[in-house]
Every structure is written in C-alpha cells, then in structure tokens.
Structure 1
Amino acid sequence: MVTDKKNQHYVPKFYLRNFSFEDNKKQIGLFNLENEFYIKRAKLKTQASKNFFYGRDGVIEDQLANIEGDLSNTIKHIVEESSLPKRYSQGHSKLLSFAVLTDLRNPTRLKQNQQMANEILKFFPSNEKSNNIKNTAPLFSPEAMIEMSLKSVPNLINDIKDLNYKLLINETMIPFITSDYPVVRYNQFLEEREHPPSNTGYGSVGLQIFIPLNGHITLVLYDENIYKIGNKKQNTVVLTQEKDVDQLNILQFVNCFSTIYFNHQADENYINYLFKKSKKYERANDVLFSSGRLINGQHEISSSYANEEDNLLIYNDKDCEINLNLTVMKVHSKGKKYKMVDSVVQTRRHVINQKSDKTYLAQHILGNKKERTHYR
C-alpha cells in the first residue's frame, strides 16, 4: 500500500516555521548554492523534502510524525521562553533526540553511506569467494539505509548526554539563518591543533554542535572539559558582535546539503555576502578515503591510494572547518592542558566509560592472497 504522504520532509516543518517570512508559517526565504538563486518568499511546505524520501509504505514517515509532535513542543518552549530544560531531565533527552534525529535523517547522511558502500565494494578481490559475499551482501535501498541510521539514535543520544548546552541570544541587527542540514558538528579545539580528520564524531573530545532555532536563538552543545561559554551559572549567552553571527551563519553555508533558509530580516545583499565569504572554505561532509596496510596489528598508511599490497581502507567525513573564533567561546585552561592520546580518534572519557563509542567498524574479507579490512 502506498502512503498518501508523498511529500516527506527530512528537516521538520515545525522547525522551518521558526524561520518563516514575518512569522507567517507559510513562506520562507531561500538561497540555492548550486544555481545561486535567491527567493525572498518561497512556499515553506515544499522545502527540505523529497517525494517518498522514507519509502512508499509510509511506515517511517508515520513514526517520525509521532516523534516530531513531542519534540516540537520542547523546541517551542525553548524558543518562546529562551530557556533550556534541566540537565538529565526528560526535556534534556528530548532536546538531544531532536539534535541527533535531525542529523541522521538528512540526505547528506544518506549520500555518505552510499559513498562508503560503493568504495568498500571496489576493495573486494575479484575471486569466487568474495563475489559470493558481494552478491549476498544487502545492497540497501535509500529507505533501508535511513531506517538503519535511525536505529542508532538511542546510542548516540547516550554518547552526547555529557555535553553541556546553552542558548546563544542574537542581539545584533542581522538574523541567524539555517539550512537543509542545520545540525553543524564542529571541533574548534582539534582544528586548532591540526589533528587529522575526522574530529566531529559524537564521541570526540572538543565536540561542538550548533543548531539555529530561529533568527534570534542558536543552541550550542559543547564539551565542557574543553570550552568555556559565558557565565557558568547562566544557560544563555548574549551575542552583540555581528562577526560572531556571521561566523555561525557561514557554518550553515559550508555544512548544508544544497539550500540556505532565512526569515525576512536577511536580505539578498547579506545572503550574497555570506555566500561569497563561505567560498574560501571547503564544503563539509564529503567522505574522505585513504588506504594502507595492517601488519601485525599496526597501521601503515600508503602515500598513494589503493596500492596493490594495501589491505586497509580508511574512510571518514570531511569536517566543517572555517577557523571558528567566537568571542564568547574559548578553550579554557583545563582544555589547553589536555594531552592527546596516540590514536586517530580523541575520545571523550564519558563515551569510553559508556562503552558506546562507534568510532570504527572492522570487517574482514578473505581473498586468495590477502585480507582487506575497512575501518570506520
């Protein structure tokens, strides 16, 4: 049976309405990066959606609709009251659910999964045994990949429940904007230390997550063992400098799937200004691949990709990086004393203790002459 809900959103409508034109809940400003097209008042209900994105049976779409009804009330209260739920409360859990769910259901995530699957298949040796594995391996449909991603939501919520969180209140004359991939994972701490990617996994030391909630408010979740934001006892921090707002808005350009969204306060000149500034940074979220050898348990990375003797495929996401430097957010003294561990991934103690870190996945494929291993 085909659902009658053909237009399926990957960014919730209740969220986009917070950026609607003059708060009319029906129209929204947009800028498409691919064709550099600006529209002041576009139809909101058709934005950040695709036909049958979650499948034709409507099962996932209905499940998400039920969840969104609950989450929308939490976000609505935060926006209207400029206040946050208490830590480890039910409201806190819902806030984390909103962040993780909005991240994982995005087409960018689907694109990453498809890129990784395609590249892994290239590393199968061409022999009968591996061909049998290839033929029987599930070649997931987009809907199945999304469903599989959504199953990881509880674990990821558990991974980030140690992050502190505050509201950045915009008191400048320019608004916050958003995009069709509004959840920006960043790591200013490891970026400054020039640590190799990827540094924005949910278990990473120095993780920051920025989510604009409307033109006036941005939610930030952050590793409090590394950063200090405003007064320790306050859950809101006021932004008075436009350069801070500009940086947070540029993050949306660098991170987005294809489209920027904004309310009536962001005119075409300002959007074009941000677009021009964002061009000097690489777009985030592409999957980066490298290869090497696994010898006696030790990793050795090749200078060139996919050498004949390589048995190790490494893949990770391209981080969002703009040399972020907010006046209200600094690495504190404890963070500066953090000693890097001898590992590709710098993992927060909370995640190690919870034993829920999903920083890598190893799978062994046996061929005639060698073993190929891929890590995530």
Structure 2
Amino acid sequence: MTEKKNQHYIPKFYLRNSSYNANKKQIGLYNLLNQRFIQDAKLKTQGSRNFFYGKDGVIEDKLSVLEGAFAERIKAIIDTLLLPKKNSPEHIELLGFVALTDLRNPVQIQGMNEIFSLGRERIKEIDEDANVDEMWPTLTHEESVNMSLSMLSHMVDNIIDLDFKILKNQTEIPFITSDFPVVKYNQYLEQKNWHNSKTGYGLVGLQIFIPLNDQLTLVFYDPAIYILGTSKQNIIVIKDKKTINDINKLQVVNCLGTLFFNEKASLNYILKLHQDSMKYNRANQRNSKLSYIVGANENPEIIVGGKENLIILNSSDCEIKLSFNELKIHSNGKSWKLGSAVSQFRKHAINIMDRKS
C-alpha cells in the first residue's frame, strides 16, 4: 500500500498560485453547499481524497512526475507572461496540463459512472428482457479513473488546433478558481441556441478557461469562430469588472462544490458572486434520453418505426451568457453553417476521426 494516502485531483502547485498572502500553505475557500467561507484554510488538504487513484500508488506516482513538468510550465508563463509556440513540445505540455486537470477530476470520474448507470436504465426501457450486464457493464471507481485518464492523448490531439492567450486582470477584483478549474464553454453555440452538446473537446466554437492566479487566466478558443486581440498579442488586458465577474461565474457554475481564492476575495464578494450565479443551471449534470435511429437524408425517416431505439447520453453545459467584449465572433464565424448532426465538430476533429477510421 502506498504511503500517499491524501491523493490530489487538483495539484498542490496549482493551488499555491492562489494561496493566502502567497504563503503557499493556506488558501481561501467557499463551500457552495453549506455557504462556509474560510479565508485561510489549510492548502495541502484541498482538492484531494483518500486513495483517490487507488492504494497501490501506481497512478499517483505517475501523476507526480507529470505534475513536476506541468508546474515548471505554468511557473514560466506566470513569471514571464510568455506563451509557448504553437505545436511546440512546450505547447503540447501545456495542453497536457489542461486535459489532465480535466480528466482526473471527480466530476469526470463520477460522471462516467453516472453515464454508465443511465445507459443501463435506458437499455431496460428499450428492451425489458435485455441482458444489461452483457451489453453495458458497471464500472468500479478504479476502472472509471483508468478509463478517464486513458483519454489524455486523444484529448490533447483534439485541442491542439485551438489558439490560446493570457487574460491579464487589471481590476481590483481577483480571478478565483475552484475544485474543477478547467471550464469548457461555447459562446458561439450558446448564442445559436444549440440544444445538444456545446462543450465537447472537438466541437466548433469551443472555449476553455483556466485561471492561473488572481491576475492571470489562460483562454483557449476556436480560431475558425473567434478573434481575440491581434495575431501578435499574447496578453489581453481586461479592465472591465463585469468581464472579470463573468469569468469568475464560470468557476461557480462549473465547480464540484468549492471555490478557491487568495486574500483579495472578500466574504461579501464571494457571497454576491454565488447569489448572482444561482440563476444559471449547474454544469456537468449527467442526463440521458431516448431517440430514434434515422436516415441521413434531408427529411430523416425513422428506420425502426414507432419505438425509440437510440440512447443519447450527455451532460449539462456551462452557460451564463458570458460578457466578454475582447473576444468576438469574427465574420467567418458568423457565416459558419451548422449541420443537421447531433454534434457540430470542428474540421480538425473531423480530420482526426477520418484518420483513425
């Protein structure tokens, strides 16, 4: 059995960037469920669970090695405000940090179990005599963890086409983070009132926000849809408080249940932010529905008449009607034509699927 009982799904190096008075030992936190605010909580026990990756320590040890490289990459960005060149090894490393921070989170691990449970229920609705155990297995926690982490290289491959920049906060309101800091968002499909998934890694219009500290947030975005500053600008300065508040709301709506911040976030600010965010639906809520297998022509016809025979499993998206004047939908994005498919993939994602088919 490993001696590393307290296993982090949020790396300690990441949380230290938002520590109380930069002491790297304490951090502000707010629990949404019980509305408990602590200005100087013990940092080393946050974003962790006992034996989250198992008792043999294998996964924990491998993640520790990756975290060392990721910590250096994030520190370099914070210290120099320079971003790696696109498609460079340093860029791949940065994407690895983003994708792994997403995939290792309990929201994703628990969500995978919930999706499998929902799938089993739906199979029974389609055919009550079906042998569900043979068609749709149950997953242990360890199996869910391994399955999620196994998708790392695929996720990195899917987002390598996204452009990325630093958002620099020049207001007195700090950026906050959370126990699920990687926020996938999609202003484009939200504005289109798209009713299916909006935030899959391969979807058109994808945006990813991840705070680095109280002053800096990384944003990744689909260059076929959006424009953010000029091609030579790596740093986008934000002086508008509403934009900072909206980016912070993304963390509230997306998180597992706890917000993190440094001493610049007051109790009154966090309470108001929570209250203002309650009008939005929580992200990452798993759901399912039955539909039909249909033909691919313009006027689809139900192949199996009368009975729903297609299981659709998904989760709720982060939607807050983000106000972000610096990030605009450009002319090519406005003329982009949505198709009839359930998922609206970027060309890059389509090329990946064609390559692997």
Scaled by the length of structure 1, the TM-score of the pair is 0.89
Q: Report what 1:75 is aligned to.
A: 74
The correspondence for 1:342, drawn from 331, 340, 344, is 340
Q: Tell me how far apart the structure 2 counterparts of residues 23 and 131 of structure 1 sit (CA, whole Å).
A: 52
Contact 1:293–1:299 under 8 Å retained in 2 = no
Instruction: Report 1:114-153 matches (<5 A).
Output: 114-122=113-121, 123-124=123-124, 125-127=127-129, 130=131, 133=134, 138-153=137-152
Instruction: Report 1:273-352 matches (<5 A).
Output: 273-294=272-293, 309-352=307-350
Q: Which amino acid aligns with 1:91?
A: E
Q: Report what 2:352 is aligned to.
A: 354
Q: Deviations over 1:104-156 (max 9, x none)?
A: 000101121111111111214343x625616xx64321121111111111011
Q: Report what 1:50 is aligned to.
A: 49
**Bigger mean CA offset, 340-349 vs 30-39:** 340-349
Q: Tell me how far apart the structure 2 counterparts of residues 175 and 115 of structure 1 sit (CA, whole Å).
A: 34
Q: Report what 2:196 is aligned to.
A: 197
Q: Tell me how far apart the structure 2 counterparts of residues 295 and 334 of structure 1 sit (CA, whole Å).
A: 31
Contact 2:185–2:208 under 8 Å retained in 1 = yes
Q: Tell me how far apart the structure 2 counterparts of residues 44 and 230 of structure 1 sit (CA, whole Å).
A: 36
Q: Report what 1:365 is aligned to.
A: none
Q: Deviations over 1:234-286 (max 9, x none)?
A: 11100011111000001000000010000010010111110011011001001
The Cα of 1:344 is off from its aligned counterpart by 1.2
Q: Tell me how far apart the structure 1 counterparts of residues 132 and 158 of structure 2 sit (CA, whole Å).
A: 37
Q: Tell me how far apart the structure 2 counterparts of residues 280 and 262 of structure 1 sit (CA, whole Å).
A: 22
Q: Tell me how far apart the structure 2 counterparts of residues 152 and 36 of structure 1 sit (CA, whole Å).
A: 35
The Cα of 1:67 is off from its aligned counterpart by 0.7
Q: Which amino acid aligns with 1:10?
A: Y
Q: Which amino acid aligns with 2:41?
A: A
Instruction: Report 1:201-212 matches (<5 A).
Output: 201-212=200-211
Q: Report what 1:305 is aligned to.
A: none
Q: Tell me how far apart the structure 1 counterparts of residues 245 and 302 of structure 2 sit (CA, whole Å).
A: 41
Q: Tell me how far apart the structure 2 counterparts of residues 185 and 333 of structure 1 sit (CA, whole Å).
A: 23
Q: Report what 2:89 is aligned to.
A: 90
Q: Tell me how far apart the structure 2 counterparts of residues 250 and 204 of structure 1 sit (CA, whole Å).
A: 22
Q: Tell me how far apart the structure 2 counterparts of residues 60 and 354 of structure 1 sit (CA, whole Å).
A: 28
Q: Report what 2:256 is aligned to.
A: 257
Q: Report what 1:374 is aligned to.
A: none
Q: Which amino acid aligns with 2:21?
A: E
1:357 and 1:197, CA in 2 relative to 1: closer, same or farther beyond 3 A? farther
Q: Report what 2:271 is aligned to.
A: 272
Q: Which amino acid aligns with 2:98?
A: A
Q: Which amino acid aligns with 2:337?
A: K
Contact 1:159–1:357 under 8 Å retained in 2 = no
The Cα of 1:351 is off from its aligned counterpart by 1.1
The Cα of 1:299 is off from its aligned counterpart by 7.5
Contact 1:351–1:357 under 8 Å retained in 2 = no
The Cα of 1:324 is off from its aligned counterpart by 0.8
Q: Tell me how far apart the structure 2 counterparts of residues 168 and 313 of structure 1 sit (CA, whole Å).
A: 40
Q: Tell me how far apart the structure 2 counterparts of residues 198 and 266 of structure 1 sit (CA, whole Å).
A: 33
**Bigger mean CA offset, 286-295 vs 113-122:** 286-295
Q: Report what 2:2 is aligned to.
A: 3
Where structure 2 has 5 or more consecutive residues not aligned to the other structure, the ranges are: none
Q: Report what 1:244 is aligned to.
A: 243
The Cα of 1:18 is off from its aligned counterpart by 0.3
The Cα of 1:309 is off from its aligned counterpart by 2.9
Q: Report what 1:214 is aligned to.
A: 213
The alignment partner of 1:324 has SS state of coil
The Cα of 1:311 is off from its aligned counterpart by 1.5
The alignment partner of 1:86 has SS state of coil
1:150 and 1:357, CA in 2 relative to 1: closer, same or farther beyond 3 A? farther
The alignment partner of 2:139 has SS state of coil
Runs of 4+ in structure 1 off by over 6 angstroms are none
The alignment partner of 1:237 has SS state of strand
1:338 and 1:7, CA in 2 relative to 1: closer, same or farther beyond 3 A? same
1:161 and 1:295, CA in 2 relative to 1: closer, same or farther beyond 3 A? closer
Q: Which amino acid aligns with 2:326?
A: V
**Bigger mean CA offset, 193-202 vs 182-191:** 193-202
Q: CA RMSD in A?
A: 1.8
Q: Tell me how far apart the structure 2 counterparts of residues 110 and 356 of structure 1 sit (CA, whole Å).
A: 28
The alignment partner of 1:19 has SS state of coil
